[in-house]
Structure 1
């Protein structure tokens, strides 16, 4: 087949429509990017076989997927798995994806180790996530385990503990309606869920100001105690009522001295 005409696309000046001569008329055959046109020196009256046309179409498709990937990467760094998923959504073939990824890696535009290191630094400095949570997120992005381990060496235990101390002090400084012990226990559980390590949490617990204001503790106990007393008073009385309330408050982390003080107050008011 012979190229009979080459025209520039109206909506994209970097793409060209290739026409072939068929039955004495110009018939549209395919389109290519300017780079493909120049690389293969496509011109009028050039003879092309079916195999050559197939190859040109494949190369042009790869070029388009490559261009899409570059644009996708312009917003932020991406893991290799993210690029692969993106290209699959664009209906790229496995062969085209393989070629594009190889090219991007050769140009150092996709590098899972560099991505992991940048990801850890960003999450460490801008979020309240611990290293275990970040590890999970990187695993979901199919980052190799060795890269994850290396990247997370930047999230040192000391840095983690400092972050935990700040979160503990902020959480414990507000008004509360639970015992300090219960609040600290729940806070530790929350920190574990955020991905902080047991080592860092315990280190922070020893460093944070753990001074318990007895008035605040008593206020929290009265808040909890009134609810428990009213509930148990519907079923028990006398010594049994006292024991039930005492047990419930003790489980909530209050000291026996404060519990007895509260119960004495309740019984005196009866």
Structure 2
């Protein structure tokens, strides 16, 4: 086929439309970026084979995917797997994806190790996530294990303990407590585990936090829980059996026997 016309695209001055002659008419054949136009010396009168056109179109598609990815990278760093998924969404072929990622790696625009290190620093400094949670997120991004381990080294036990201490102090200083101190502490530890903090660091942090119990606050919480439990069991039980039911329930909720007995004495005086 012979090129009959070359024109600049209206919406993108760096792209050109290539036309071929068919029965005396200029018929659009394909579009190319300016770089490929120059590289392949595309001009009016040039003869192209079907194979040459196919190769030019393949190179142009890769060029467009590359340009899209550069824009995608302009917002933040990306893992290779994120770029691959992004390009799949743009219907890029596996070959095109591999070519684009290889080019980006050569240009130092994509680096899974640097991405991992930046990811760990950001999550460590701006989120409430522990190291196990962050590590799992990197695994889901298909980061090589050796890179993950190197990046996670920055999230030291000391930094982990520091974050846990702050979390414990903030939560345990709540003035509107309606649960026993022990129950609240246990739930806090479970929450920290779910956020990815290690059990070892949680125990170390617990040793650094003031875990003394304010008896007045504890008694207020016990009365709140005790009244609900008393009302529930009073429908079916009375006397010694009722006290045993209430005592067992409050003890399971982490209250001390001294405070439980004080509450039961108060209920007995009321009766």
TM range (shorter): over 0.9
Deviations 1:142-162 (A, max 9, x none): 111221111111000110010
> Is 1:71 the equivalent of 2:92?
no
Mapping of 1:133-152 within 5 angstroms? Answer: 133-152=133-152
The CA deviation string for residues 70-111 of structure 1, in whole angstroms up to 9 with x for no partner, is: 000000001111101110110111111111111111111111
Match for residue 61 of structure 1?
61
Extract unaligned runs of 5+ from structure 1: none
For residues 265 and 20 of structure 2, the distance between their equivalents in structure 1, rounded to whole angstroms, comes to 101
State the distance in 2 between where 1:130 and 1:63 align. Answer: 40
2:153 aligns to what?
Answer: 153
2:129 match: 129
Cα deviation code 1:239-269 (max 9, x no counterpart) = 1111111111111101111010110110111
Q: Distance in 1 between matches of 2:15 and 2:213?
A: 72
Displacement after TM superposition at 1:229 (Å): 0.9
Distance across 2 between alignment mates of 1:197 and 1:176: 26
- The aligned counterpart of 1:188 is 189
C-alpha displacement of 1:22: 2.4
Gaps of 5+ in 2: none
- Please give the root-mean-square deviation of Cα atoms over the aligned residues, in Å: 0.9
Question: What SS does the corresponding residue of 1:28 show, helix, strand or coil?
Answer: strand
Pair 1:82 & 2:86 matched:
no
Other-structure match for 2:7:
7
Secondary structure of 2:7's counterpart equals: strand
Q: Which runs of 4+ in 1 moved over 4 A?
A: none
Instruction: Give the aligned partner of residue 228 of structure 2.
Output: 227
SS of match in other structure, 1:201: helix
Determine the structure 2 residue equivalent to 1:239. Answer: 240
Aligned residues: 270
CA distance in 1, matches of 2:246, 2:201: 35
Of the structure 1 ranges 8-17 and 19-28, higher mean CA displacement relative to structure 2 is found in 19-28
Supply the distance in 2 between the matched residues of 1:128 and 1:258 (Cα, whole angstroms): 35
Whole-angstrom CA distance in 2 between matches of 1:139 and 1:244: 48
